[in-house]
Amino acid sequence: MKPKSIKKNYIYNLVYQILVIIIPLVTAPYLSRVLGVEGVGIYSYTLSNVSYFILLANVGIASFGQREIAMNQDNRKKYSKVFWDLYGYQLLIGLVAVLFYLVYVFFFSKYTIIQAVLIVNLFSAIIDITWLFQGLEEYKYISIRNIVVKLVFTAAIFIFVHSSDDLLLYLGLNAGATVLSAGIMWLSAHKILNKPKFKEIRVFKYWKDTIIYFLPQIATQIYTILDKTMLGLITGSQVENGYYEQAYRITSIVMTVITSLNIVIAPRMAYLYKKGDIAQIRYRLAKSLRFVFLLSIPMTIGLMIVGPGFSQWFFGPGYEKVQILMPVIAPIIFIIAISNCLGVQCLTPCGKRAKSAMALWIGAGVNLISNLILIPHFASIGAAIGTIIAETTITVLFIIFSRKYIDFKTAIKGMRNYIIGGILMTMALFITLHFLPEFTPVNTIIAVAVGVLTYGATMIVTHDEFVFEYIDLIKHKFLKH
């Protein structure tokens, strides 16, 4: 199989990621007002609970499966065999997860009806085979599927969800969209897979390998989802969860612009690792890290300065605490951008999952201790600080474990330009906000435009070679005769 174009895959995935950014910008203000702070908090809390069982249903198969498929993408017979062995295991473990979830729903859950509806999300995880298409670098199909489902789901929100009484309906629509998105993948699976020989399927062939991938996922779940669970349990109020959910959502939207590159490059990294092309891995990783620095620095600064005022009008009355949370949690954009790049593009494709697992478990422990100390005193702000501390710990460890594959000279080349651009951008934003009477949608756009233009102008004045490389590429693509 001929390797797919990374540039085309990035464009396909970027188009979808742009939609992922735009849709919440349209739906979040509406839902925050319609569902209210408590409704958003309940949504966040119950979804975090079902996430633990979804994690169990996947048991590391998606990450391991993507890597194995990518490494064998030249051999249809071999990757087909890998797929059917792994999916048999996924189906079996998924059904076990469903049984455990039913016990939780009917004997331990505070929101029995809502959690019962969310079992659909669990079923979607059982039938999800996106990892097959990711391993084969078929991002065109993945992106088109996701875009169609997202648009339908968005339209359904405005048609059917009109008040806080529609929370259950909203969760049902969300669950339906999830299972539809997963199910569609099977329509094209037969085109890229050989038919299964059921007598040859070995359900438990890769269970030890998937466990290696499962352990870091548990750790990741602890420090990303447990925040919301602990907020609900410790504070006894879903309102704090509502604040935290909205602040974290905005940072997540911003991060998708950066992390979308990591998703499409990972399969190629696994392919290069199998070929033993370490030099090419170092080159690609260094370029990716520089891309991360270029984007994450201004995004972090922008959200810290503009975020509080933006959240004021974006979420509406009742979400005032989000204004305090935004500058506290914004640094995770820069921190996670680095760790995500190293984890997805280096440690996982290069078979260093055990080391990344150790880093994630250490981070999870740091996050758990931080939450126990900070949440009782500072609630959602404490959870945000705990997240920053944990993510910083993980990023430092990822850098240490990836140093063999990092060309530090190339990666940090140009950092001076980005730091200067960030400083000038900060000054420009403070000056601009001083002359703006209040935060409105128009004034927010003005502030963002000033920040972007200042940072962009700095890159041009300093003649940043990384930026000009892409400017020349665009000129070549669109201005060639």
pLDDT for position 84: 93
pLDDT given at position 477: 54
Mean pLDDT by 10 residues, the chain (481 residues): 57 69 82 89 88 88 86 86 92 95 92 92 92 82 83 92 91 90 87 87 87 77 77 84 87 78 62 75 82 91 93 87 93 92 79 81 90 93 93 93 82 83 95 87 92 94 79 60 44
Tell me if 247 sits within 8 A of 326, measured CB to CB.
Answer: yes
Look up tokens 């900060």; give the residue: 426
- Of 42, 45, 260, nearest to 139 by C-alpha is 260
d(CA 20, CA 8): 18
What is the sign of the dihedral through the CA atoms of 366, 369, 374 and 379? positive
Q: What is the DSSP string of 90-132?
A: HHHHHHHHHHHHHHHHHHT-SSHHHHHHTHHHHHHHHH--HHH
Of the candidates 254, 382, 265, 405, the residue with the CA atom closest to the CA atom of residue 325: 382
Percentages (nearest 5) of helix, strand, coil residues in the chain: 85, 0, 15
Among candidates 312, 454, 329, which has minimal Cα distance to 382? 329
CA separation for the pair 473, 476 (Å, rounded): 5
Measured in residues, the chain has a length of: 481
Distance of CA 371 to the CA centre of its chain: 22
